[in-house]
Amino acid sequence: MAEFEIINPSNGELVTSYPLMGPDEVDEAVKKAGLAWQSWSGASFETRKEILTKAAAVIAEDAERYARIVSDETGKTVMDALMADIYPVAGLLKYYAKNLKKFLKPVKGEANIFLPARKSYYTYEPKGVVGVISPWNYPLSLSAGPVITAVAAGNAVVLKPSSQTTGSGIAIKEIFEKAGLPEGVVQTITGSGSVTGQALIENEGIDMLFFTGSTGVGKMVNVTAAKRLIPTIMELGGKDVAIVTKNANLDRAAHSIAWGAFTNSGQTCIGMEIAIVHKDVYEQFLEKITKITKDLKSGDKSGEIGSMTMAAQLKIVEEQVEDAVSGGAAIITGGKRDPDKKGLFYPPTILTGTNMNMKLMTDETFGPLLPIVPYENIDEAIEIANSTEFGLSGAIFTKDMAEGRSIAKRMNTGSVNINDVLITFANHSLPFGGNKQSGVGRYHSKMGLRAFTNIKSITEFPWDLYNKEPYWYPVLKNGDLLIKEALRVLFSLDTGKRVKAALNAILIILKGRLK
Give the interface with ligand NAP as residue ranges (CB under 6 A).
133-137, 142, 160, 162-164, 192-194, 197-198, 201, 212-214, 217, 220-221, 235-238, 269, 364, 366, 392, 434, 439
Rank residues 164 and 504 by Cβ distance to ligand NAP and give the closer one. Answer: 164
How near is the Cβ of 253 to ligand NAP at its closest, in Å? 23
Quote the CA–CA distance of 396 and 206 in Å, as a whole number. Answer: 40
What is d(CA 462, CA 439) in angstroms, rounded to the nearest whole number? 44
Q: Which is nearer to ligand NAP, 213 or 299 (CB)?
A: 213
Give me the least distance between CB of 137 and ligand NAP, in Å please: 5
Q: How far is the CB of 470 from ligand NAP (least distance, A)?
A: 53
Give CA–CA dist 51/180, Å, rounded: 6
One-letter amino acid for residue 55 of the chain:
A
Tell me how far, at minimum, the Cβ of 142 lies from ligand NAP, in Å. 5
Query: For ligand NAP, which is the closer residue by CB, 201 or 244?
Result: 201
Residue 75 Cβ, how far from ligand NAP at the closest point, in Å?
Answer: 14
Exposure b/e, 47-62, CB count within 10 A at least 16 = b: ebbebbebbbebbeee
CA pair distance 172, 138, nearest whole angstrom: 13
State the alpha helices, DSSP H only, in 153-268: 166-178, 198-202, 215-227, 250-262
Beta-carbon contacts of 483 under 8 Å, excluding residues fewer than 6 positions away, are none
Instruction: State the residue number with the nearest CB to ligand NAP.
Output: 193
Please identify every residue annotated as catalytic: 235, 269
Instruction: Give the torsion sign (CA, 475, 477, 481, 485).
Output: negative
- Which is it for the CA torsion 275, 281, 282, 284, positive or negative? negative
Q: How is residue 242 annotated by DSSP?
A: E
Residue 505 Cα distances to 187, 397, 472, angstroms: 63, 64, 19
